[in-house]
Amino acid sequence: MPTRMHNEPLFDLFSYARRGPGQRVHLSKGEIEQIARTARRTPEVMVKVLPKGANSLGAAQRHFNYIGRKGELDIETDDGEKLRGEMVGDDLLDDWDLDLMAQRGKLDLGAPTAKQAPRLVHKVMFSMPAGTPPEKVLAAVRNFAREEFALKHRYAMALHTDEPHPHVHVVIKAVSDQGRRLNIRKATLREWREKFARHLRALGVPANATLRHVRGETCPRKSDGIYRASLRGESTHMRERAEAVARELRTGDLRVEPGKAKLVRTHNDVRRAWLAVSDILTQEKHAELAAQVRRYADQMPPPFTEKELLAARILEHARESLARERQVSR
């Protein structure tokens, strides 16, 4: 069993840009290591909560069937068992007493403010970029879950390798054996990402966990449903967005989105903070890393909105089509 890992405070980039004139700031060993990982573009971990289908027995059973590929894959439980078969979902529902939780939730729905049944489970996905050893991803998630939930929340997991990026689906019972409900907030996810990355690094896998804006990423992430539909070419949302941008391009009037100014301010703040970190590293005799951080700040992508990125793709597609037509006409 792995030893419990020491949790350092999450790296706060902006605190370095806010320091006063002449103020001496000391970077800890852990902070320097995180700065180095980020400047070297170490692969970023992803932890995502799947939002739908978690507050009914039927939905929980369907998700167990999904992660176990209807009996084709192993589902590993919190006590180390590996279960396989079409009835695994039913067995886990029974073992976790989810039917009692569901019944209790129905009774609680008598309150006038209640809008929907409470969650029975949380569905969380842990993922790494393509090329990461799948068995290491599973081992890191196993160690994370044991450290975070053992003797508290029941959980089960399954490794998926049918997509380029290996990922592990974890189903967590929403109420602990002590009757405490698990609430997953943004701060919870940030902490889980950092812990997942640390467990990967302990297994020899390069992994980092930083906020998107700290890396200069500005385009908002889509919900899991929109993202998967866009990959299949079936996203009505993305198609409508693209058609609206194309109409504005045809009229020569691509309107700036209201959030553009804030995006630019955030981008400038992030760059200024990284340059401040570079200055601190120079003061502390880490000249090579200071130069890497400065290059990282200079190479951050421009702050484009989703609309601007769509416009750029449409124009690029139009240029490629025109080039093909000219090639054919020769």
**Rounded to an integer, what distance in angstroms lies between the CA atom of residue 223 and that of residue 228?**
9
CATH number at residue 93: 3.30.930.30
The reply to whether 25 falls in a domain is no
Cα distance between residue 324 and residue 211, in whole Å:
40
Q: How confident is the model at residue 114, as a pLDDT? A: 47
The residue with tokens 């069937």 is: 65
pLDDT reported for residue 305: 81
Task: Specify whether the CB–CB gap between 217 and 153 falls below 8 A.
Answer: no
Whether 265 maps to a domain, the answer reads: no
| CA-closest candidate to residue 16, choices 210, 275, 291, 277 | 277
CB 172 within 8 A of CB 81: no
170 assigned to some structural domain: yes
Cβ atoms of 165 and 127 closer than 8 Å: yes
Please tell me the distance from the alpha carbon of residue 270 to that of residue 300, in angstroms, as a whole number. 10
Predicted pLDDT at 102 = 77
Is 152 within the bounds of a domain?
yes
Return d(Cα 124, Cα 139) in angstroms, integer.
16
pLDDT recorded at residue 113: 47
CA 131 to chain centre: 18
Is the pTM higher than 0.85? The answer reads no
Give a yes or no: residue 50 inside a domain.
yes
- Domain assignment present for residue 293? The answer is no
CA contacts within 13 A on the Cβ side of 166:
14
Domain annotation covers residue 27: no
Whether the CB-CB separation of 123 and 171 falls below 8 Å is answered with: yes
pLDDT at res. 21? 47
pLDDT at residue number 6: 55
Determine the structural domain holding residue 168 and report its residue range.
Answer: 46-105+114-202
**Within a domain: 281:** no
Distance CA 85, CA 89 (A): 9
From first to last of its 330 residues, the chain has per-residue pLDDT tens of 444 555 555 567 766 655 544 555 688 898 999 999 999 999 999 999 998 777 899 999 999 999 999 999 999 999 999 999 999 999 999 999 998 887 776 555 444 444 567 899 999 999 999 999 999 999 999 999 999 999 999 999 999 999 999 999 999 999 998 999 999 999 999 999 999 999 999 999 999 999 888 887 766 554 444 444 444 454 576 678 788 888 888 888 888 777 888 888 888 999 999 999 999 999 999 999 999 999 999 999 888 888 888 888 888 888 888 788 787 776
Give dist(CA 33, CA 164) in Å, integer. 28
Extract the tokens encoding 221. 């992430």
What is the number of domains present in the chain? 1
Say what the pLDDT of residue 237 is: 66
pLDDT of amino acid 226: 41
Question: For the chain, where are the E strands, in sequence order?
Answer: 46-50, 75-77, 82-83, 121-127, 155-160, 167-173
The phi, psi pair for 196, rounded to 5°, reads: -60, -45
Residue written as tokens 């706060």? 12
Read off the tokens for 321. 């089509």
